[in-house]
Amino acid sequence: MKKKTLFIIVKSKAAATFLEAFFRTSGIYRPVFCSTPPSPCAPLEKERGASALIAEISLLPLISLTDHTIPCIALIGGDKKKGIETAVAYSVDGYITRPFVKEDLDFMLSTVIRDHEMIRIQKKEIRDLRTLHEFAQLISSTLDPKQILFMIVKRISDLMPVTRCSIIQVDWLHKFAYVVASFETPNVSMIKLSLKKYPEIVEALFRKKPVVVSDINTNPIMKSVRNIISPLGIRSILVMPIIFEKKVIGTLFLRTSRKQHTFKKDEVRLLQGIAEVSANTLYNAFRFAQVEDERTRLEKLAITDYLTGIYNVRYFQHRIIEEFTRAERYKLPICCLMLDIDRFKKINDSYGHKTGDLVLKEFAQQLRQLSRKSDVLARYGGEEFIIMLPQTTIAGAVAEAERIRNAIASHAFKGLESGMRLTVSIGISSYPNARIKTYDELISAADDSLYEAKKSGRDRVVVFT
């Protein structure tokens, strides 16, 4: 058992003789004698981990007890009444009077050290409870998961010295992990990690309990990655699963590391409390995020063609109404391109509908790459596609249509025989035009022009006149 260090500050020979005899028979204390005031305070600053201070009552005025957090026992060797009054005045933790008895000092030491330790623990628990209360209020102030995650790691880094502190999301199916929050990098976003390099995370996932690696050089869990981590200077690692209703929610983990000393029990306990306080808020935040993601996904599905991934006719109708109304109001040009893959039925008959669908997908992606950001591309139906060109003149529309036609004719589509090329017919309509008064007429005119392009030989661009 490690001996408890005691600072002894005495001048009288009687007190020194008594204490020397006491410590010769006591195996649990390590005395540090200081006999020349005002220097007795110096060892208190140099020595660490002292359990108590023993001082003669006459020397108390020379000792600033308020500067030290260890308990003090006074030795009263002269006037007993005056000595006790002095001890009370200086708020010592205990005292013994002359004649000095071994049992009195032994009892007083064990009592004040025990009481002081209990007070220290209680104060630490009160601080931790206050911290958890503040923490709960902090993370409950928002439903934004990213903000909550950063608040957690930032607060932990403020509470205790750590080299790294991050929250990890685990994709167990694909054996990868992602850093979703890190106090070192506030704007971190899904940094990919291989779980093979993080056995401590895997261990925490299986056990659903905190995993503390006191020393990576001796802990068997880290054997497979020791040669990778050791050069980084990291000594201790703590992984804390965040559990809600007996489930590791979102497979999230707090992972902290240090280069110096290991994590203490009270630090592990505090981090566990933070994880428990965070669990409910994180669960609600992630549920909120899931609902938002699902809503966004459904909104996207509602305006997206299921096969090609580009906009569908419903969305195109919505946008062309907006743009045509703007063109009417501000006298702006607007054009519409109707495109059709030539002899597409032959592809379906020769290669099958599955290959035909793959060709349609690739064709749509080619159109997406060839279109400008301001254009609105949609699948009109079957192998027909439509592109709206806001604020574009007929000359600009013809130039874009020819660029698309030539690019498609030179593109080698996957799944088709080598050397086989597709062609496309394109019809163009434009506004202002004396025969076009509505957006429906603009679409119909482009469709009529496409029909003329097909009838006149395909692989060409025809403008509505």
pLDDT of residue 40: 42
**Average pLDDT of 74-100?**
88
**Residue written as tokens 């306080």?**
277
pLDDT (0 to 100) of residue 166: 82
Report for 154-158, 299-303, 317-321: range of highest mean pLDDT: 317-321
Task: Look at residue 400 and tell me whether its pLDDT is greater than 70.
Answer: yes
Q: Which of 19-23, 256-260, 310-314 is least confident?
A: 256-260
Question: Does 66 have pLDDT greater than 60?
Answer: no
SS3 call for 196: helix
Average pLDDT over residues 82-105: 89
Of 35-39, 126-130, 323-327, minimum mean pLDDT range: 35-39
Confidence of residue 211 (pLDDT cuts 50, 70, 90): confident
Q: What is the pLDDT of residues 4-43, one digit of tens each?
A: 888 888 888 888 889 888 988 888 888 888 755 444 444 4
Q: How confident is the model at residue 256 (pLDDT cuts 50, 70, 90)?
A: low
Closest by CA to 82, choosing from 62, 71, 97, 94, is 97
Confidence category of residue 360, pLDDT binned at 50, 70, 90: very high
215: amino acid identity, one letter: D
End-to-end CA gap in the chain: 102
What integer is the mean pLDDT of 100-106? 90
Domains and CATH numbers, the chain: 4-121 (3.40.50.2300), 145-293 (3.30.450.40), 313-463 (3.30.70.270)
CB 83 within 8 A of CB 76: yes
In the DSSP assignment, the letter for residue 77 is -
pLDDT reported for residue 39: 45
Predicted confidence band of residue 431 (pLDDT cuts 50, 70, 90): very high
How far apart (Å, rounded) are the C-alpha atoms in residues 293 and 301?
Answer: 12
Output the furthest CA–CA distance in the chain (Å, rounded): 127
pLDDT above 60 for 306: yes
CA neighbours closer than 13 Å in the CB half-sphere of residue 165: 17
Which pair of tokens denotes residue 459? Answer: 């692989």
pLDDT tens for each residue of 112-121: 988 888 888 8
Percent of the chain's residues with pLDDT above 90 = 34
- Give the residue among 283, 253, 284 at the shortest CA–CA distance from 271: 253
Judged against a pLDDT cut of 90, whether residue 445 lies above it is answered with yes
Rounded Cα gap, residues 405 and 412, in angstroms: 14
Q: What is the pLDDT of residues 46-65, one digit of tens each?
A: 445 678 888 888 888 777 65
Distance CA 453, CA 463 (A): 9
3-class SS at 33?
A: strand
Where does the pLDDT of residue 297 fall: very low under 50, low under 70, confident under 90, or very high at 90 and above? Answer: confident
Which segment of 85-99, 128-142, 343-357, 384-398 scores lowest on mean pLDDT? 128-142
Does pLDDT of 330 surpass 70? yes
Residue 410 CB-density burial (10 A; 0-12 exposed, 13-18 middle, 19+ buried): exposed
CB 257 within 8 A of CB 232: no
Rounded Cα distance between 390 and 407, Å, is: 22
Distance CA 198, CA 222 (A): 8
Residue 358 predicted with pLDDT over 80: yes
pLDDT at 120: 81
Strand partners, 262: none
Question: Residue 45 pLDDT more than 50?
Answer: no
